[in-house]
Each structure stands twice: as structure tokens, then as C-alpha cells.
Structure 1
């Protein structure tokens, strides 16, 4: 059976809702006059930039997703003049991962895809952190392709090339950077449209898109047939 991978923090999990709630809790605990969603957006952008800037050289030391998250949190605090212990607070933030919600179509959608394909995940997260998420129970452990395992981060082409070598044939992203990265690496892509995400207008465009994962099995059948 062909392996279909899903992005974790956009296609499967509503990370902005989950992360914003965690940041709202941190702001309340510290007495900050800052919105949870605003803090999440700032941290998330810095976290992605930190991952993008990591050298993809086998000789370079590996930096975990958790460490990227801490660095991004420290930079967010510094930029906003917020007093907080980034090392302690990132433990609170990442400790909230079990509460981050799945999109409503995920459980039924993955079950439907699983009748004809292997269902996996292709994500920048660490293995241990993935295990905390609600998506972990929905995929087989040997179909989880993390940055920790592949030693590369999105959107670097090496991540997608190594995913292909590990057996991934189709990727289901939602975000612009993930869609573009997968297409540029030559993976077949079926993008799921999620609130807050769009395609990069300057990059390659996906041939296939769905609004709901329930539509995915029919589209995958066309992809397999070369349609």
C-alpha cells in the first residue's frame, strides 16, 4: 500500500487554536496584557524561521524542535519586553500539546484513507512531542517521519527527499511553505484547504486540493491512476 503522509500542525491539528490557548494561559499567569493568538503568531513565525536557518549538513549538530521552540520563545519575549523564563515556559507550552485539537474531519478522514493507503505523518516535530498529540493514535509508528528521524526541517528539500526515500509517495499539506517544499521535491501533493493557510502565489501550484479529508480517497485514486 502506498504511504500518504500528512502535515501535523496544519493538516491534522488546529495548532493556532491550541497554541493560542496555551499562550493565553501563560499571559494570565505572568500578568501580561497580551493576547494568546498574537503571542502564538509571533512565536510560531520565529520558530519556523529558526528551523529554516538550521544548516542541513550531516556534520552540523542537530537542534531539536523543542530547542527551536525555546529559542523562538526567548526571542519573542525579548522583542516584546516580556519578563519570563523561556526554558520553563516552553515546557508549559509543549506540555499543552495533548490539548491541541484535531480538525473535525481528521479522525474519519484518516480512517477512510487507511482502507486503501498507509497513513503517515511528515512533520518538523520531535518524536517524543509527536507522541503527545492527538494525532499519534491515528497512525502507525513506522509511518511517522519526523525531522528528528530524517535529520532535516521543512521547507528544506532534503526533508522531502528523505521522506521519499523512506517510502512517502503522496503528501497532504495545508501551509504554503509545506505545499511548495513538497512540490519542489517532486512529491505528489493533495493540499487540504485549512483556515488561515493559503498557497504561495510565487511558487508551484498544487494540482489537487480538497476542502475536507472525506474527499481525499477519491482524489488519491485519481492520483494513483495518473489523472
Structure 2
């Protein structure tokens, strides 16, 4: 069974990783967690709304520039600021269960990543050593961004059987595209109340193999 997980919600605590960096980059004192929420919301919006494909790093830059502009801060150095933000990716922490649970899962299943990210950025993260390069289904490779149905259809075409999201948009997007979903509940993430609800939810990735086994039996 080919099982993919989202990078920035299911595997990496991106808020914990990016918030202090954004606070340090800001030209005045600000709550880094709130600044992250502003930036992340704008980044997700441009990934959803932009019709032409551009690198994930450009979505990050556009979101940072828009966030800075809202605060009345200069945006002419948005490229350099984004480079500094993304340079911190190796320090963004994994959720506590990932380092142990993912290798255990890989012993019995093909495990990959299905995520909005550029190849080189994923390679910087702490997830990279845990997932084979060939099984990193990035938006760069699939030429689409969540929550577009095209990304999920192309993932199925690449052999994905089950996807494990955490965020609202990924859970809804995968379900509406017809993927089999096992959601991992993470702090700060929820299910979209306007969308379908996943039939299978775990709170720890160590519990995922048992759910996958039950799905395999049902199939």
C-alpha cells in the first residue's frame, strides 16, 4: 500500500518552526505566531487562486510581501526575507511521533510525501531522510497545488492508495477528489466544517498501521 502524508501539517510543525523566524525578520516587535498565521493564510490563498504554476517559494514570497504591506512595512526586500525564512527549514521541528513512527510504517508500506512544496525545499527538511526521493510527490513534480483536484488525481496516477492529511484544506481536498483518507489530528489544525468529514482519524502516527490494516481487510 502506497501511503502519503502531508509535509507541513502532518509531519512538520511548521508554525513552531516559522513563527520565531518571521518575528525575527519583522522590522518591529510582533507576535511571531500571529504573524505566521497571517502569512500562512495568504500563502494558502495564493496557492489556491493562482491559475499558472509557479514555484512554492514564489507563493511564500508573495504571501510575505502582502503580509508586510498590511503592516505598513517595506516590501522591496521580500525575496531576501523569504530566502532567510526558507533557509530555516532544517530547523523546523517534526511532530513528536514522526521520527519513530515513519520508519516503522515504512517497514510494512511504501511511504511518501504529498505536499505543496518545491523539491529542493523538501530536501532541506527533517522529513527528507525518512522518505525515499522517488516517493516525494511535490507540487513541483505534479504541477498542481492543493486543494486542486488535479494534484490528487495525479497522486492516484502515481500509485497513491491512502493519503494522511492534517489541515482543513488538505483533508477536504483529498476527500472531495475521492482519495482514501486517514486524517492525523494535529494541534492547530481542524476539519473544514463545510466539507466532508474523514471516516478514519488518528491522533498519533503509531496508530496508523492498525487503521491501514483494517482498510486493507475491507478492500
Count of aligned residue pairs for this structure pair: 218
Quote the Cα distance in structure 2 between the aligned partners of 1:109 and 1:187: 22
Quote the Cα distance in structure 1 between the aligned partners of 2:49 and 2:41: 12
Aligned to 1:83: 74
The structural deviation recorded for 1:174 is: 0.4
Task: Write out aligned runs for 1:49-128 (5 A).
Answer: 49-55=45-51, 60=52, 62-84=53-75, 85-128=77-120
Aligned to 1:13: 12
SS in 2 for 1:206: coil
- TM-score of the pair, normalised by structure 2: 0.97
Quote the Cα distance in structure 2 between the aligned partners of 1:40 and 1:201: 23
Aligned CA RMSD, in angstroms, stands at: 1.0
Please, which of 43, 56, 69 is the counterpart of residue 47 of structure 1?
43
The structural deviation recorded for 1:26 is: 1.1
Task: Write out aligned runs for 1:187-226 (5 A).
Answer: 187-226=179-218
The structural deviation recorded for 1:33 is: 2.2
Quote the Cα distance in structure 1 between the aligned partners of 2:63 and 2:182: 30
The structural deviation recorded for 1:21 is: 1.5
Quote the Cα distance in structure 1 between the aligned partners of 2:20 and 2:212: 34
What CA deviation, in whole Å up to 9, does each residue of 1:79-130 have, x standing for no partner?
A: 1101351111000000000000000000111112112110100000000000
Unaligned runs of 5+ in 2: none
Aligned to 1:174: 166
- The more displaced of 35-44 and 146-155 is 35-44
What CA deviation, in whole Å up to 9, does each residue of 1:48-93 have, x standing for no partner?
A: 00000121xxxx4x30000111111111111110135111100000
Quote the Cα distance in structure 2 between the aligned partners of 1:120 and 1:3: 7
SS in 1 for 2:161: strand
CA contact (8 A) 2:23 2:29 kept: no
Aligned to 2:148: 156
- The more displaced of 109-118 and 132-141 is 109-118
Quote the Cα distance in structure 2 between the aligned partners of 1:166 and 1:151: 13
Moved runs in structure 1, 4+ residues, more than 4 A? none
- TM-score of the pair, normalised by structure 1: 0.94
